[in-house]
Structures are given as C-alpha cells and as structure tokens.
Amino acid sequence: MLKLLTLICTMAAVVLSGQAAALELPNPKRGFWWGERAQEEQPVTEETADKAPDLPAPPLRLSDFTPEELWTMPPSEFSELVEKFSHQAIQFPTEENAYAYLALNDISRRKALEFTNITSFVSQRYPEFSPGYDHPTNVPGRQSLLARQAQERQDVISSAANEFGLLYFHDPSCSACVAQEGILQFFNRKYPSWGIRPVNIRMEPYAAAQFGVQRTPTIIAVHLQSDEWLPVTNGAESLDNIEERLFWTIRYLRGETNPQNFGDFQYQQQRDQNRNHDLFERYQYIQNQSSRSNP
C-alpha cells in the first residue's frame, strides 16, 4: 500500500513539472542591460527589394513628327522608327496604327526611288560610273570588248615565247591526258614558237614531286630567266581557258600584276592608274558648281 502511494505521488510530480515547463513565464531580465543583443535588421538588396513595375510606354503617334522630320531623318533612325510602328501595329492592330505603319513605308519607298533616280542621273551624266563603261551589256559593245581582250591575250602570249616554257605532266593511264594532248597540238599550231616539254610522272616522279603535281593532266608555266613557275591548268582544259590562264600567269611572273589585280588587262591598269585622282577632281568641280548655285 505504501509503495502504491509513493508511485502515484511520483507520477503526479512528473506531470506537474512538465506542465510548468510548458508554461513559459515572461522573463523580466531581458534587454541590453542584461546582456541581450538586439537582432540586426537584414539590409535591403536589389534582389530583395520590390522592383517598381515597368510602366507601359506611351503609344507612338504619327502626329508626333512633322513631314520634314520624317523626310530628312537619318536612315538608321528612320528604320528603327518603322520597326517600332510595325511592332505597335502588330500588337494593337487598329486602323490608326496600320495607317501610320503604311505611311512610313510609303515615305521609305519614295526615298528609295529618289535615291535610285539621282544615282541613275549621275551615272548617265558622268560615264566613268556607267556600268557599260567597264562591262558593256549590249551586243556590239560586248563583242568589241571580247575582241580587244582576245587580241591582248594573243599578243602577250606570242611575245613571251622566248621567256617562258610549258611543262606538261601526264600519265599513260590518264584518259583525260589524251584529250589534253590534242588541245595542246592546237596551241602549238597557234603559237609555234612556244616550247612544251612533256613529263611522264611514272618515268620522272621526282619532277612531279618538285612541282607538287598530284593529278594529271597538269600544265605549269616556267619563267626561264628566273626559274619561277606557276600552275596554268589542273585537269583537262579548253584552248580558250589555257590562253586566258597563261596570259594571267605571264603577266604575274613578269611582275606586271599582283594577286590583287591578277585578272586585269593592260588597258584596265592604265585606265585605273589615275582613276582616284580623276574622281576627286571631278567631285571638287561638282562641289564648286553646287556652291555657286546654292550660295
């Protein structure tokens, strides 16, 4: 009996102590005086700060610009303005927005036409800018130009017979070499003073290695005085192509051209020597005329 009472009292004490612990009474000894530190406020950063919502941009209106402003606006600014009006018309497809977009496109079209007209006038008035000046497109002009170029090619090739020689690399098993040899016979008849040395790459592999020949037929032009050389053809080519490339090769190895004007003819080089000076001289004349008419 005594043990039972002792057990009951012990359990009651445990329950009462747990309830007392659960009930937290306010501690009067709080604050800086009693050594308590205040919690620091977290600084407000750009990530934590509430960003102000972006206000919608005011709508674009064509009436915000004068006709003179739109007509004389720099092209880069005008293109940007057209794009903005286009986006606005797509986002808000109203009659006003569509009309403004089409009006700007109309201005752009008329400005482009104005530019086309003035460039056509200037190129017609000053023939140095005319496309037909260098590259005629009409039949008579084209025939005359081609005849002039063909004559210059033939003259240069004929005059270089004692300065250059041709190495013709071939292979007995090469079917294209048969066709190329027939074309070279035509070349020899047209330019009998030219020397052509056949090189069989099977019999003379060292020669093919020296000139970097990897396929046949290959024709290489050699400058006899300097021993400099340049490939003319790589593969079977027509007589016209052989003449054209040999003409370029001769002029290059003679030092008359460089890689930048490799394909130019003599008449083109002579004409272009003072071209920049002539263009600026003409421009100064036009500038002076404009100053007199618009004081």
pLDDT at 20: 47
| Residue range 148-258, CATH number | 3.40.30.10
Residue 123 has pLDDT above 90, yes or no: no
Burial 55-75 (b: 16+ CB within 10 A, else e): eeeeebebeeeeeeebeebee
Residues 270-285 pLDDT 10s: 777 778 888 888 888 8
Closest CA to 230 of 166, 136, 290: 166
pLDDT at 141: 87
- What does the block give as tokens for 82? 């057209």
Q: 253 or 8: whose pLDDT is higher?
A: 253
Q: Exposed, middle or buried, 84 (CB in 10 Å: 0-12/13-18/19+)?
A: middle
Residue 171 has pLDDT above 60, yes or no: yes
Residue 224 has pLDDT above 80, yes or no: yes
pLDDT at 29: 60
Residue type, 247: F
pLDDT at 23: 47
- What does the block give as tokens for 84? 């903005």
Residues 190-201 pLDDT 10s: 999 999 999 999
Q: Domain residues of the chain, as ranges?
A: 62-121, 148-258
How many helices (H) and strands (E) would you count in the chain? Answer: 11, 4
Which residues have a Cβ under 8 Å from the Cβ of 196 and sit 6 or more positions away? 165, 166, 168, 184, 187, 188
